């Protein structure tokens, strides 16, 4: 047996990736039973996992992987069909394998393993599968192993490199490419005559593989021979981006913090050079700015991951939830190849889950209800991922029953949020915004996951805490869409620096609307709170110095006296709410790195972190969402 502790981390990492691919391929095979490539992918993954678990001494995992692998052999022979019940067992088996990967000793629940093993072995054979089995018995089963596929292109092929890459891509449909001759870089350059070889690990019928590749234009001949092995120089095919290395996210985060420190040091030097007129430093500072900017950009690129990788669990969760509710749903992710900051994707998981469960629970109708409306029995839920120059846009859309605006306003009136007269004056968008208030819900039933009227309120708060916002659109009877607008990164941000009682405070720029002078005569008391009117809106006024107990008077920007010169106010917005902050003065904008608050201050909701400033000092970072929450609790 190998030294388990030494290879434990590598095993967990690689097995985790294999299981993620297994789950994805299982769900694709369930949707399209004729997708042979995904069937083969499942077979190969389980075969690999069986060997890896055996080498680590994890016998229960190896045995489970072996029985699941045999199930796919039955499926390849046509004696096992991916029915919902069969898929439930296979997915449960995948869950148990994942439990073993997470356990330090590779242990899994033996009773559940025995249940899965017995259910897999007892899986019924459908009449159609019996007929397929008889047909397959009449022909020789395809051997599982390595094939050398020799391809000869036409001498008149104008772009043979491009054509060869098409052949290579099509070969991947039938198995795993373990190498080429000549090696892949030479094929990509067209550095070969008219022939080349592909080494393919496949369980497909050789005749099907040969027929498929021969049908590709400008392919003159395809010859297959078993037992071939690529030479040492052609042993592996490299990914398009070249070699890759695994780096833990925690290490990337640590590096990003160091980059933040470097930016702070740069700004400190810039300030010193300006204050002491050290013009000789200008050239060096300009170069330092370029280097730190490039370093930040490269590190941000290293933190990027494909959205599909970070969201890979969602299809499985949606499939299981739909089965529980007895609904048929086609869930798709558009833009899964788009790369986004891992931190953003990690933090948006919970809000997305809220929205997806809401769409499934209360958006998508039952098959019977959809049939009465003339809709297809299966509903559709789409998660769209977009990335623009300055933001990430995520959309959750369904083709379900939509939102009844009348129900929304009636629910809001019942909760005392507004009167019937006010409800009649609301626009469509203002009515949708009511769904973000706690307790406002149009759900007909309350389930374990939604219907209490707190989900959308929680989503809006979480998105606002990330410096984003959420919009809602719906057509009654046709469907609903939720759109989330998020910043590209949470690591280094731009802030507006303000001063309160001589102390600097940072406000993220994506929460700042504008700053202006406000006369004290424009401030009016309403229900015990100071407010002012701007652009036909009633906006609450928050005197920060008094609120935080830092002092009062003109130095704190919180004066209430008879002066007519007014006060400096910064208007902020988050989660659809606004407030005017009374400040002493504006200090300007800076690009800063945020450090999380110590546990001692973690219970203070009005601050999200500490900003490291160029002058070497620090500033608390205002959390607008937390401020609004505190105001509500008073």
322-325 long-range contacts, CB within 8 A, separation 24+: 322/360, 323/84, 323/88, 325/360, 325/361
pLDDT (mean) for 38-52: 85
Query: Quick one: pLDDT band at residue 479, thresholds 50, 70, 90?
Result: very high
Residue pair 112/96 in contact by the 8 Å Cβ criterion: yes
- Rg of the chain over Cα atoms, rounded to whole angstroms, equals 31
Which has the higher per-residue pLDDT, 253 or 446? 253
7-14 long-range contacts, CB within 8 A, separation 24+: 7/56, 8/56, 8/104, 11/52, 11/56, 11/101, 12/101, 12/102, 13/246, 14/52
Furthest-apart CA atoms within the chain: distance in Å: 100
Query: Quick one: pLDDT band at residue 478, thresholds 50, 70, 90?
Result: very high
Q: Could you give the C-alpha distances from 78 to 45, 81, 90, 202, 376, in angstroms and in order?
A: 20, 7, 17, 17, 29
Question: Which pLDDT score is estimated for 145?
Answer: 57
Segment holding 570, helix H or strand E: strand 567-574
Question: Which pLDDT score is estimated for 443?
Answer: 61
253-258 long-range contacts, CB within 8 A, separation 24+: 253/343, 253/491, 255/299, 256/299, 256/300, 256/303, 256/491, 256/492, 256/593, 257/593, 257/595
Question: Which pLDDT score is estimated for 597?
Answer: 59
Strand partners, 507: 496
Tell me the pLDDT tens digit for each residue of 397-432.
999 999 998 888 888 888 888 888 888 888 887 888
Question: Which pLDDT score is estimated for 579?
Answer: 95
Q: How far apart are CA 8 and CA 408, in angstroms?
A: 53
Question: Which pLDDT score is estimated for 604?
Answer: 67
DSSP string, 421-455: HHHHT--HHHHHHGGGSTT----SS--SSS-SS-H
Segment holding 568, helix H or strand E: strand 567-574
Residue 527, by phi and psi: left (phi above 0), alpha (psi -120 to 50) or beta? left
Question: Which pLDDT score is estimated for 139?
Answer: 40
pLDDT (mean) for 515-535: 92
Residue-averaged pLDDT of the chain: 81
Question: In 363-510, which residue ranges form alpha helices assigned H by DSSP?
Answer: 367-372, 405-414, 420-424, 428-433, 455-465
- The answer to whether the peptide bond before residue 91 is cis (omega within 30 degrees of 0) is no
Beta strands 503-508 and 618-622 are parallel
pLDDT (mean) for 73-82: 81
Q: How far apart are CA 485 and CA 504, in angstroms?
A: 28
Lowest mean pLDDT of 141-150, 221-230, 319-328, 345-354, name the range.
Answer: 141-150
Residue 334 CB-density burial (10 A; 0-12 exposed, 13-18 middle, 19+ buried): middle
Tell me the pLDDT tens digit for each residue of 143-180.
455 788 999 998 878 778 878 888 888 887 777 788 88
Query: Quick one: pLDDT band at residue 370, thresholds 50, 70, 90?
Result: very high
Q: Is the pLDDT of residue 216 over 80?
A: yes
Q: Which two tokens stand for residue 230?
A: 């690529």
Q: Which two tokens stand for residue 432?
A: 């949708």
Q: Is the pLDDT of residue 282 over 70?
A: yes
Question: Which pLDDT score is estimated for 138?
Answer: 44
Domains of the chain: 4-137 (1.20.120.160), 145-231 (3.30.70.1110), 251-303 (1.10.287), 306-486 (3.30.565.10), 493-633 (2.40.50.180)
Question: Which pLDDT score is estimated for 559?
Answer: 42
Residue pair 357/331 in contact by the 8 Å Cβ criterion: no
Question: Which pLDDT score is estimated for 353?
Answer: 92
Query: Quick one: pLDDT band at residue 545, thresholds 50, 70, 90?
Result: very high
Listing from the earlier edge strand, what are the strands of the sheet with 524-526? 512-518, 567-574, 577-583, 537-543, 529-534, 524-526
Place of tokens 């996992």: 49
Strand partners, 495: 508, 590
Residue of 505, 503, 515, 510 whose CA lies nearest to 606: 505
Tell me the pLDDT tens digit for each residue of 486-510.
888 776 778 899 999 999 999 988 8
Which has the higher per-residue pLDDT, 110 or 366? 366
Tell me the pLDDT tens digit for each residue of 253-265.
788 778 877 877 8
Share of the chain above pLDDT 90, in %: 25
Question: Which pLDDT score is estimated for 394?
Answer: 95
Q: How many CB atoms lie within 10 A of CB 541?
A: 20
pLDDT (mean) for 93-106: 88
Question: Which pLDDT score is estimated for 439?
Answer: 66
Residue pair 591/244 in contact by the 8 Å Cβ criterion: no
Q: How far apart are CA 440 and CA 417, in angstroms?
A: 9
Phi, psi of 562 (to 5 degrees): -85, 5
| DSSP 8-state code for residue 490 | S
| DSSP 8-state code for residue 564 | S
pLDDT (mean) for 608-613: 77
Provide the sign of the torsion angle of the four alpha carbons 263, 265, 269, 271, taken in this order: positive
Tell me the pLDDT tens digit for each residue of 231-278.
444 444 444 444 566 677 778 878 877 887 787 788 788 888 888 888
Tell me the pLDDT tens digit for each residue of 550-574.
875 444 444 444 445 689 999 998 8
Tell me the pLDDT tens digit for each residue of 432-444.
888 877 667 666 5
Tell me the pLDDT tens digit for each residue of 177-203.
888 888 888 888 888 888 999 988 776
Query: Quick one: pLDDT band at residue 628, thresholds 50, 70, 90?
Result: confident
Q: Is the pLDDT of residue 355 over 90?
A: yes
Give the total residue count for the chain. 634
Q: Is the pLDDT of residue 454 over 70?
A: no
Segment holding 379, helix H or strand E: strand 379-387
DSSP string, 522-534: G-EEETTEEEEEE
Residue pair 149/224 in contact by the 8 Å Cβ criterion: yes
Q: How far apart are CA 329 and CA 306, in angstroms?
A: 24
Q: Is the pLDDT of residue 317 over 60?
A: yes
Q: Which two tokens stand for residue 501?
A: 């009682």
Question: Which pLDDT score is estimated for 245?
Answer: 65
Strands annotated E in 191-307:
195-202, 219-226, 304-306
Which string of b and e fits 206-226 if b means at least 16 CB within 10 Å?
beebbeebeebebbeebebee
Question: Which pLDDT score is estimated for 229?
Answer: 52
pLDDT (mean) for 316-345: 91
| DSSP 8-state code for residue 512 | E
| DSSP 8-state code for residue 491 | S
pLDDT (mean) for 535-558: 77
Residue 345 CB-density burial (10 A; 0-12 exposed, 13-18 middle, 19+ buried): buried
Q: Which two tokens stand for residue 232?
A: 């040492």
Q: How far apart are CA 464 and CA 486, in angstroms?
A: 9
511-515 long-range contacts, CB within 8 A, separation 24+: 511/467, 511/572, 511/573, 511/574, 511/622, 511/624, 512/570, 512/571, 512/572, 513/571, 513/572, 513/573, 513/578, 514/570, 514/571, 515/568, 515/569, 515/570, 515/571, 515/586
Q: How far apart are CA 38 and CA 155, in angstroms?
A: 34
């Amino acid at each position: 047996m190998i030294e388990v502790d030494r290879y434990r981390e590598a095993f967990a990492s690689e097995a985790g990736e294999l299981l993620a691919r297994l789950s994805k391929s299982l769900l694709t095979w369930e949707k399209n039973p004729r997708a042979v490539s995904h069937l083969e992918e499942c077979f190969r993954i389980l075969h690999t996992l069986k060997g890896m678990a055996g080498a680590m001494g994890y016998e229960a995992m190896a045995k489970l992987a072996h029985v699941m692998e045999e199930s796919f052999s039955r499926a390849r022979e046509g004696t096992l069909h991916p029915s919902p019940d069969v898929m439930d067992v296979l997915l449960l088996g995948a869950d148990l394998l994942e439990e073993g990967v997470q356990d330090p000793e590779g242990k899994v629940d033996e009773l559940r393993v025995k249940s899965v093993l017995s259910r897999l072995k007892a899986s019924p054979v459908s009449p159609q599968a019996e007929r397929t089995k008889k047909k397959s018995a009449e022909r020789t089963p395809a051997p599982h192993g390595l094939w050398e596929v020799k391809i000869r292109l036409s001498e008149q092929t104008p772009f043979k490199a491009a054509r060869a890459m098409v052949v290579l891509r099509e070969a991947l449909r039938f198995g795993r490419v373990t190498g080429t001759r000549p090696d892949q870089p030479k094929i990509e350059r067209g550095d070969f005559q008219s022939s080349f070889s592909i080494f393919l690990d496949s369980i497909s019928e050789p005749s099907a593989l040969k027929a498929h590749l021969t049908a590709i234009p400008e392919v003159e001949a395809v010859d297959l021979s078993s037992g071939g092995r690529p030479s040492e120089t052609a042993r592996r095919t490299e990914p398009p981006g070249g070699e890759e290395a695994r780096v833990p996210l925690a290490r990337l985060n640590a590096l990003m913090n160091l980059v933040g420190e470097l930016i702070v040091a740069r700004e400190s030097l810039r300030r010193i050079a300006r204050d002491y007129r050290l013009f000789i430093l200008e050239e060096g500072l300009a170069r330092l700015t370029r280097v730190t900017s490039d370093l930040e950009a490269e590190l941000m690129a290293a933190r990027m991951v494909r959205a599909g990788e970070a969201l890979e669990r969602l299809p499985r969760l949606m499939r299981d939830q739909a089965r529980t509710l007895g609904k048929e749903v086609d869930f798709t992710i558009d833009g899964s190849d788009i790369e986004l900051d891992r931190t953003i994707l990690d933090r948006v998981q919970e809000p997305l889950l809220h929205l997806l469960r809401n769409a499934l629970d209360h958006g998508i109708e039952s098959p019977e209800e959809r049939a009465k409306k003339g809709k297809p029995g299966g509903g559709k839920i789409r998660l769209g991922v977009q990335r623009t120059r300055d933001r990430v846009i995520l959309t959750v859309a369904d083709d379900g029953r939509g939102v009844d605006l009348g129900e929304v306003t009636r629910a809001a009136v019942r909760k005392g949020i507004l009167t019937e007269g006010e409800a009649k004056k609301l626009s469509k968008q203002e009515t949708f915004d009511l769904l973000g208030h706690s307790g406002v819900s149009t759900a007909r039933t309350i389930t374990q996951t939604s219907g209490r009227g707190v989900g959308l309120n929680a989503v809006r708060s979480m998105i606002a805490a990330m410096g984003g916002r959420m919009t809602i659109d719906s057509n009654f009877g046709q469907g609903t869409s939720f759109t989330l607008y998020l910043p590209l990164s949470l690591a280094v941000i731009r802030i507006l620096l303000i001063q309160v009682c001589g102390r600097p405070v940072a406000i993220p720029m994506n929460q700042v609307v504008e700053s202006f002078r406000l006369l004290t005569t424009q401030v009016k008391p309403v229900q015990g709170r100071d407010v002012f009117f701007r652009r036909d809106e009633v906006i609450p006024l928050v005197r920060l110095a008094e609120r935080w107990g830092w002092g009062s008077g003109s130095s704190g920007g919180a004066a209430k006296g008879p002066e007519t010169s007014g006060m400096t106010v910064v208007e902020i917005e988050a989660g659809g709410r606004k407030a005017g902050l009374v400040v002493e003065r504006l200090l300007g904008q800076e690009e800063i790195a945020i450090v999380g608050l110590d546990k001692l201050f973690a219970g203070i909701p009005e601050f999200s972190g500490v900003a490291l400033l160029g002058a070497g000092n620090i500033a608390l970072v205002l959390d607008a969402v937390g401020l609004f929450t505190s105001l509500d609790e008073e």
